Structure 1
Amino acid sequence: MTLSPQQVAEARARVPLAFRAPLSQRLQRAATWALLIGLILWCLYDFDVTPARIWTGLGRLGTVASFMFPPHVWTTWEAFAPILEGLGETLAIAFLGTLLGAVVAFPLSFLGAKNINRLNVLRLGVRRGYDVIRAFETLILALIFIRAFGLGPLPGILAIAVSEIGTFAKLFSEAIENTSTRQVEGVRAAGGSRLQQIRFGVAPQVNPVILSILLYNFESNVRSGTILGIVGAGGIGFLLSDRIAAYKWDEAWSIIFLIIAMVYVIDWLSGIVRARLIGKQELAK
């Protein structure tokens, strides 16, 4: 028997207590909310987050923002050339780091996929390796590689590559595990070897997903490359840090605007690439 919404409303009005959650569940909810609110209040107190401090900080932020306008316009090629070189260097760091990370992560992802690697001990060990690699923040890796290889783009490339190995391997392996078995069974029925099953049954399904992951992470790594430049790993971040340290806020704002424009262009081009190689219908799903 199915009750209408009106009958349910009438029953709720007659016996409202029957529709309430059990006492234990209500106490659990209240305790959870109390713990959450208490944790937030303690953090605000411990971090000295006060209205007076926030108001003072907003005033200083407004002062800094006023120094940024109007943005600086470079009038000579000699002054603007280092900015373009820094942008190109950041773009190259992100591209090479993403590419190197993907090249290493691609074969490792098959070892971590349940439908490819049947050895539980090996698969779980490889997956824990993904977690260990992803535990290191890109900025920390950059500082380590700067100590080892010195200043310049190389530490930035290696930092992004190592960080992306763990991320790509995890995402690629999950994509491989979510593939359909029908294509694999078709290749197997035709007499295909295990390698051919992966090549013709699994790879065509995961390639669009892998491409989408690569393009998205490349966009993200362009932004990360800017931060890495601030600590000495090359790129436009070094120039931005130098302008901020010299209180040249108008130039700093112009550099930030160029970074935003570069990221926007990359995002636009990535959308075109995805639409051409993956297909507009697949992207709309």
Structure 2
Amino acid sequence: MTIEAERQFYLSQMGVHLWYARAPLPGAAPTPDLDFSEPVSERLASSAEVVRSQPAVKGRAPEDSAGSQGNVRDLLKSINAEPEERDKTPLPTSEQTLEARSGAGENVKPAVKASDDESVNISSDVLAGLGDVKLDIGFWLSERYCLMSSVSPDISEELQVQLATNILKALNAGLDEHKRFAWPVFNNPAVMKNARRDLSYLLRRIEKDIVGERTLICLGYVGESAEQHGHVVERLSKTVLQAEHPLSALAGDPGNKKHLWDMLKGQFSGEC
């Protein structure tokens, strides 16, 4: 049996450095009172003399061996004890914690995730229509209009922004703000368990925070099919001015531009 000071000395000579937790660790067995009665610095000098003079230590004072045996016995007892015996003080349950807080005068209320009523009560048909939807939509905003079109990777984004700005200028409206919305957030669909409901909620937020009271002008389809496009646009606005071609189709085709201009003049004859 060795006392703690001597054990640390031998371990330090082998390059082993002990680590002691500064605070009790949850679930850990209680640490016994270790014997640090002999300073490490004095033990270094005495151990060196022992190594030079005596090949081995044959005996030890009875009080030292008794103290070390008691420490080791306590340590083994704590290790072999059952978990419930190590800590007989049960942890307070969540109900007891709530009762204690309420008794102290605190108003404890369960946390409820904030969500719109519309996002909770969504029909199964709408959720089915939003399945496997891939969106990359640009929103160009003025004071009165919200121009919406799918963003194409085939042409530069700067050209599409310029086209949208020119369309708003033709309506005597300047470009105040440009937003972009891409879905899904992750390529792996298994990451999001409620992807359809989340998408429906985000589209409603776009309706309230971006579209608002503006007139929504949609250029082309924003979904991969007419059905998906209908479900997406339905969540964005009740009244939509639908054009046939997106911005990417307007870039290099004067005929498509003329078709859009004729439609806008028919709808906003007094504003163009």
User: If you compute each CA radius of gyration, which structure gives the higher value, 1 or 2?
Assistant: 2
TM-score bracket for the superposition, by shorter chain length: under 0.3
Task: Give the TM-score, by structure 1 length.
Answer: 0.18
Report which of the two has the higher share of strand: 2
Task: Give the TM-score, by structure 2 length.
Answer: 0.19
Report which of the two has the higher share of helix: 1
